[in-house]
Amino acid sequence: MDRLGEERATMAASYQVGPFHLDLSRGCLLRGAEIVPLRAKLFELLLAFVRSEGRLLSKEQLMETVWEDTHVEEETVARSVRWLNKALSDGENANRYIETVKGRGYRFLLSAQPIPALARNGYEPNQADVVPPQISSSSVAKVPELRLARGWHVLAASILYGALYAVAIPLEIAYRWEEYGPAALKLSVAVFICVSIVSAGGLWLDWTLTSRGLRSGLLISGLAFLLSATLLYLALCQFLPSVQVTKATFETYTAQGAYFKDSLYFLILAGLFLIAPFHFVSYLHQELKLGRHGLVMRTLTTTRLTIVPKATFYLAGLLLVLVLFAVRSTFDHTHLLDNLLPDPNKNLFIQLVYARLTLYFALAVECLVWYYRALNSVKHECHKRETVFAEESKPSNKGLPHSYQAP
């Protein structure tokens, strides 16, 4: 870019780019009254293209301009250009804004008309005139705090999850209740308390770390669940017999093996229905706090390419998984109960099987209901914040010279 172009670019407060309005002071891109959600790097990439004034930009130039303090691969640049093209094109004619010149770089195809900063007319903007690309404090005051019933969900899910591990202990020794029953009841109480506390703590850590913008929340939460289940199993191996206890016409697991299988099923359930959905909602909540309601809304309502965290599970998939679990569980439990051998403790065993089954699906349903309501709350919040932000984004021409009024 020549010196005249650089001077014009640095003095511009915003740009009219085809059907778009690029507002530098607010850090947002508008198509009419609609906000086009862009991540920070994509916004910087668009600004680099706009200031290039139609010149061809190589990948190296873009890397120096947009990722000057970060080492990235050329594929990162190419992928970001594709995402930017897709965001600008609204899913149609995805290559009409940025031309790819194979082996050389990229060229921005829209003409950009800089709108001069008000400082050129003797007006010096103060700090209040320059706001970050998020909802202002006045807007936040207009929008009620997002209600997710997070605390009640964590409490209910942790209690149900702890109860699963607690019920599994007397279940696996039920056929030898006279020998192991009293000790199993005492252990069940301790296991229930420990697992409930650890699971609630893991979810709390995930929410706290995610709210601080850290990416380790999901990993730490998952490790808390996994580590607690592992240590619990190793401890209970000192109590559970290493021989077959449940009597059936087929060969059954040992008490230790059966409890290990139970723990594995519980972990799978928690991972799919509790940990991953809770982390996803935590991520969406953090994005809303940063004012990225447009990105959140597109993530939830469209199939467009957006940046979302790993382990994103949607309701339709979870419902399908729950149905498959129910079908498999029905088959397995029918096979087990039909082949139990007569024993004075048989009825106790059957009752405990039904108790475990009830807790298992109660936890899945509770998580699904909360997830559904949380996503709806997030969508509703996005609509409200979009309305508030759109109102604030309308250009105000009051008190400005005619030559500088927004088009």
Would you list the domain boundaries of the chain? 3-123, 150-391
pLDDT at 61: 87
Percent of the residues in the chain that have a pLDDT greater than 70, as a whole number: 76
Fill in the DSSP letter of residue 10: H
Which pLDDT score is estimated for 209?
92
The pLDDT value recorded for residue 389 is 55
The reply to whether the predicted model has a pTM over 0.75 is: no
What whole-number distance in Å separates Cα of residue 255 and Cα of residue 240? 6
Indicate the class that CATH gives domain 3-123: mainly alpha
Question: How far apart (Å, rounded) are the C-alpha atoms in residues 374 and 288?
Answer: 13
Q: DSSP letters along 172-193, please?
A: HTGGGHHHHHHHHHHHHHHHHH
pLDDT at 260: 97
Task: pLDDT tens for the chain, 407 residues: list them.
Answer: 443 344 444 455 678 887 888 887 677 888 777 778 787 788 888 888 888 888 888 888 888 888 877 777 888 888 888 888 888 876 555 556 788 888 888 888 877 778 765 444 444 444 333 333 444 444 443 434 556 788 999 999 999 999 999 999 999 999 999 999 999 999 999 999 999 999 999 999 999 998 887 888 999 999 999 999 999 999 999 999 999 999 999 999 999 999 999 999 999 999 999 999 999 999 888 877 766 666 677 677 654 434 444 444 567 888 899 999 999 999 999 999 999 999 999 999 999 999 999 999 999 999 999 999 998 888 888 777 666 655 554 544 444 444 434 44
Q: How far apart are CA 400 and CA 378, in angstroms?
A: 38
| Tokens 């309601």, residue located | 293
Q: Which two tokens stand for residue 278?
A: 């809770």
Say what the pLDDT of residue 213 is: 78
Tokens (6 digits) for 179? 């020998």
In angstroms, how far is CA 242 from the centroid of its own chain? Answer: 42
Report the phi/psi class of residue 36: left, alpha or beta, with left for phi > 0 and alpha for psi in -120 to 50: beta
Kindly report, residue by residue over 149-172, the tens digit of the pLDDT: 889 999 999 999 999 999 999 999
- Cα–Cα distances in angstroms (integers) from residue 264 to residues 225, 304, 325, in the given order: 11, 35, 14
Note the pLDDT of residue 78. Answer: 86
- Residue 116 pLDDT: 67
